[in-house]
Amino acid sequence: MNDFNTAADLLDEVADMVERHVAGMRKVEATALGLDVRCGMAWVDEDYIVAYASNRFDYYGGFEYVDKDDVQVIGDYKFYSANSSRIADAIECLMEADGECESEDA
C-alpha cells in the first residue's frame, strides 16, 4: 500500500488507477450502445458504461435521467452503473449485437 504525503499525491494515484482500469475496458462507439452518435466513444464492461466526464452522454444519450446514486465522477471520467435500467439496456444492446444474449422482444 502506498503512503501519501499529500492529498495531491493521493489524487494523482487515484487518477492513474482509473486511467489503467478504463484502458483495459472495451472501447465502443455510442451507436453500439443504441445511443446517438453525438455521444462519442465509451468504455464498457458488464457493470458500467464509462465516458469522459463531459455532459455528452447526459444530453445526447438521455443519461441525465439516471439516478445520481448510479453515477460516479472520478477524475476525467463519469461511471454509469448498470444498476440503472437505462444503463443496463444500453449494455444489453451491445451484448445483443455481439450475439451474447437475445432480446426479450425476439
Domain annotation covers residue 62 = yes
Q: How far apart are CA 88 and CA 12, in angstroms?
A: 31
Residue 1 has pLDDT above 80, yes or no: no
For 59, residues 6+ apart whose C-beta sits below 8 A from its C-beta are none
Say if 2 falls within a structural domain.
no
Q: Give the count of domains, the chain.
A: 1
The string of DSSP codes covering the chain is ----SSHHHHHHHHHHHHHHHHHTSEEEEGGGGT--GGG-EEEE-SSEEEEESSSHHHHHHSGGGS-GGGEEEETTEEEEETTSHHHHHHHHHHHHHHTSS--TT-
Residue 106 forms part of a structural domain: no
Does 22 reside within a domain?
Answer: yes
Please report which confidence band the pLDDT of residue 106 belongs to, taking 50, 70 and 90 as the band edges.
very low
Q: Is the pLDDT of residue 100 over 80?
A: no
Domain hosting residue 24, numbered range: 7-98
* pLDDT 10s digits, 9-61: 999 999 999 999 999 999 999 999 999 999 999 999 999 999 999 889 999 99
Could you tell me if residue 89 is inside a domain?
Answer: yes
